[in-house]
Chain A
């Protein structure tokens, strides 16, 4: 396990360096003048030139990259040209919103997807199984933006029980930053009105974001349960006289969850990436919406910052998933040791 950890930790900065180089090259290949865009149509040439100088766009590309990497080594991601703030400050503000949304979506995936998959697997070929599979296919087939709008129409316009967009209601003041999660921060502040508002605002975007992953996890769990249920050792366990409930708890669930863990880990990355569309539809002020604005304004530093952040998270989540895998199934660790 240590060997794997060491190998991955060495690869980590190399992959990030590659990502930074690729993102820098790609964003700068696109012809564009962010300084003119930012200055606005009424700005004079002197004003545009001033901005260009201020953000270092008047330097050569290698010089710009070298400056960027030098600053990055000191934890400085540069200044965003759209928000005119340090990118680190922007990320510190927007990223918790995305994490809050992703965690809520993951909770929904785990709390709904796993039981549904388990039920479908155990009741294979029966009506609940067909129904769950139909729901899964529908959920995975629905585009996020469409599902989001439909949910808004049903729960906001028609039923009037949930808000349409944003992170908190206009009557509430965003809570003081502790974790950056409004649901938690409002509780810490003892502001229950803000807590309720933040929770209500979280429901529709979290469900919209979760829908696709929920279907994947349900299907995966079902397949895994079906496969595990047909294993020989289960027949032996039943022959020993173990109750069905015990067999399911001890043998089916535990073994079936092993491959699901990997997929679950990968879904974190999928949800983070998928949050972009969800954030746009629900005006959720997270890193996805920030990235969209950055891309349309060709905000180089913001694009770089977001890409590096998402890449780092993706790498970290994959590493944690692999380690978890080793913990859940010691045979894999043994096999790795043997190979070494």
Chain B
């Protein structure tokens, strides 16, 4: 805030002294009033000074970075959650062996100085950088990596599923780790780099607090990593503060913040106000409408980059009229994609060719795309035996996803033109998930978003379409099932040759575009409002809702 309050404090002090001097009073009165005035002034100046000093986004000399977030993290333990909010904190303290380079999906070594993946011998070798230590002084060596892999597999949460092919770990010397796998698995390497990848925790911290739960109870509110910052304090639902790690292997010679604070602001209007007033420099998890409105705000820049986030409407494939592929195709032609992307999403999205986002590996722009054509949709419905529609469909969505309600309303209006009656219902997130996970009760259309944790088409294709991912096994709530697709996908994920693998994924995409279990509506850009003064932000779509504070400066 401005220094104005301090000046006001001085003025108040002057007025009170004037009054004390002018007014005749007894000694007792003078003492009483003097005491009260003193107390009031002390309180006032403390209050206002605190208020004035506690709100500068970047602190004096741009030493402090304040980021606000509208959603609270689940845990500080990076091995036990796949939630979208916690990685912002993890990436201040923890690092991975590999990283996605810049804004791409190409891998590069990070804590490892080199790596080799021998797909014939099913062997993955990491060569570690020398001289890296955790903030508690423990060395980053092969034994530390081995212990971390073992912990990740033992707790069996987070990215553990991607590391499942690892069968044996060897440490021939202090800086070499050899992982033996059961076979080739597309995405295994990404498990060492992704947003939920294997973040390395101090082996000393793990051993000291291991107990029966592999230190889960301790690590959910404590952090010991190799990263540029270390945890200073953490108050759940309130704030997390980090100070620089003096012995960080990357050094602090460049323009880096010395302290990073993440504040949790539950109310969107307060979070927006704080960014506009300069109290915070980045606002994560703001509702879309607030972000759109901030694009013209002075002093605020809205980062707008292609991301790997896609929005679909899923159709029940196992029951009702939409079990017929021709009906699903007709519905796909009956939806107004342009209105959804240009008006509801404010021009920040485009309609993709198929289920993958257009910047994602394996995207196929030659795939046919369902264009909005109500006449064709009506004709196709008639051909499928549903002349004039004449059936009902329910669209359910969960609260908290700002785009799902307007998408449902547009879907309702578009389907009405085809003679299909759509009713919509908002549910709590857990009820929404529970309803769709149960095949016997899941007979609704629903809005769904997906973003990958591994940079492979398998991440989208298995989770949303595979028979084995139906219900609570994955995220296939349409209950779509196609044996040819399943077979091709299995072949693809174990195919070592990249060109052949991509060709298999392409065939998989052709099938799901033709079968139309979903309406492939939006390939959505990522928008993040930030202070104009903040520089150095590199957005990688694999690291969603995260900025690397080490790269940021003013």
Contacts and interface: CB of A to CB of B under 8 A. Distances in A.
Interface of A: 30-34, 36-48, 50-51, 82-85, 90, 93-94, 149, 152-153, 156-157, 160-174, 192-200, 279-283, 285, 289-290, 292-293, 296-298
The number of chain B residues touching the other chain, given as a range, is 35 or more
B236 A93 contact: yes
Contacts of B307: none
A180 to B, nearest CB: 11
6 contacts: A36-B434, A45-B473, A84-B75, A169-B50, A197-B51, A199-B43
Given A196-B47, A298-B428, A84 B453 contact: no
A32 B431 contact: yes
B124 interface: no
Nearest to A43: B82
Given A160-B2, A293-B237, 4 more contacts: A45-B472, A160-B5, A164-B273, A168-B238
B267 A163 contact: no
Contact of B450 (A31, A41, A196): A41
A172 B55 CA distance: 10
B279 interface: yes
A289 B70 CA distance: 13
A173 B232 contact: yes
A297 B430 CA distance: 6
A281 B156 CA distance: 37
Nearest to A161: B5
Given A82-B74, A283-B270, A44 B473 contact: yes
A51 to B, nearest CB: 8
B437 interface: yes
Contacts of A93: 235-236
A292 B267 CA distance: 12
Q: Which 4 A-B pairs have the closest CB atoms?
A: A169-B54, A196-B50, A32-B430, A40-B82
A48 B220 contact: no
B176 interface: no
A258 B81 CA distance: 55
Contact of A174 (B238, B431, B435, B437): B238
Contact of B463 (A42, A162, A280, A285): A42
Interface in B234-280: 235-239, 241, 261, 263-267, 269-270, 273-274, 276-277, 279
B3 to A, nearest CB: 10
Contact of A30 (B2, B161, B431): B431
B420 interface: no
B474 to A, nearest CB: 7
Contacts of A283: 237-238, 263-267, 270
Contacts of B450: 41
B454 to A, nearest CB: 9
B429 interface: yes
B41 to A, nearest CB: 13
A47 B158 CA distance: 8
A93 to B, nearest CB: 6
Interface in B36-51: 43, 46-51
Contacts of A164: 270, 273-274, 277, 279
B482 interface: no
A287 B51 CA distance: 25
A245 to B, nearest CB: 19
Interface in B312-342: none
Contacts of A33: 430, 433-434, 437, 472
Contact of B72 (A161, A163, A196, A293): A293
B54 A83 contact: no
A156 B273 contact: yes
A60 to B, nearest CB: 17
Contact of A47 (B156, B261, B265, B277): B156
A198 B43 CA distance: 12
Given A42-B196, A50-B157, A37 B453 contact: no
A84 B48 CA distance: 38
B377 interface: no
Contact of B50 (A42, A200, A281): A200
- The winner among A161, A174, A199, A290 for most chain B CB atoms within 10 A is A161
Interface string B198-219: 0000000000000000001100
Contacts of A38: 74, 81, 83
B64 interface: yes
Given A40-B84, A156-B273, A174-B238, A32 B265 contact: no
